[in-house]
Structures are given as C-alpha cells and as structure tokens.
Amino acid sequence: MARRVWQVQSEHVMAEVLDGEAVIIDMASGRYHAAAGVAGTIWEAVTAGRSLDGILADVRRLHSGVPEDAGERVVRFLDELVAAGLAVAVDDAAAQSRDDAAAQSGEDSHVTPWRDPALESHDDLQDLLLLDPVHEVTEAGWPHAAPPQ
C-alpha cells in the first residue's frame, strides 16, 4: 500500500545538514533557509523519503519531551516546506520498507529537547543566487552557457 511521503524538489533545491541543522537553498527563488533541531530531523527524514510515521519515529528517537500533538506540529512544518516550494507530497509504495529499515538502524547520535519545528527563511542573497551562471546551463553542462533565447 502506498504511503504519503514528502520529497525534496531536487531540480531546484540544494541542501546540506551540518550538526543537525539543515541549510537549504532554493535556486529557483534565490531564497535560503535554515532548519535546526526538530526541523533538521524532519528535513533529513524528507530527504530519505520517509512517511509521516517514519518522520515521527525519528523525532521521538532523537528528541526528548515530544508533545502528544507532535504529529500535527510536524504536518504543519511539512506544509510549510511544501508552501515554500522546497518539498512536494506524493504517494510512494516503497515508503514502508524505508521506514522499517530506518527504525532498525537505531542511530541515536544525540538526543536534544523538543522545540517546535520552524523554517527560518532569508532572501538577502537572492540577487547573488539568481545571478549564478549555473542557471544558464544546458544539458552539455557548465561552463557551456546556454544559447540566447
């Protein structure tokens, strides 16, 4: 049975997780975002193609003091990622097996306290990010600029 998962909009979103904080760049809009703590955990689960159950399992394993309504709060954050154009919700038949494999790995690198997940967004580098010559690339790659339209 297919489960709902959230996937990164990989055609225009780049991200790196450093010490539990995700730094996310949307090359289409020129905005960059930060997701720390619980939000970083959720982002990592999204990049792994996890379902809501899998995401919540990660949050409960890696954070203390998780509230009873954590599912609703996580869904609000996932909706925020979708609204920002960073992720998309899809149905995926393989999500259950990814969730099961992650649950068995049991990697508990550190446990941090719950804080409501939040996406910190910035547009102060927007002009520079949108000037990036990589936007002008054809299938031939870079540095071969695309012909003028």
Tokens of 44: 């990592």
* pLDDT tens digit at each of 149 positions of the chain: 678 888 898 888 989 999 889 999 898 888 889 999 999 999 999 998 889 999 999 999 999 999 999 999 999 999 999 999 999 998 887 766 676 666 666 565 568 999 999 999 987 766 655 655 555 555 655 555 555 66
Note the pLDDT of residue 10.
86
On the question of a cis peptide bond just before residue 143, with omega within 30 degrees of 0, the verdict is: yes
d(CA 74, CA 118): 10
Which among 121, 117, 118 is positioned nearest to 25, based on CA atoms?
121
Count of domains forming the chain: 1
Rounded to two decimals, the pTM is: 0.78
Note the pLDDT of residue 136.
54
d(CA 80, CA 99): 22
Q: Which domain holds residue 70?
A: 3-145
Note the pLDDT of residue 123.
79
d(CA 56, CA 74): 8
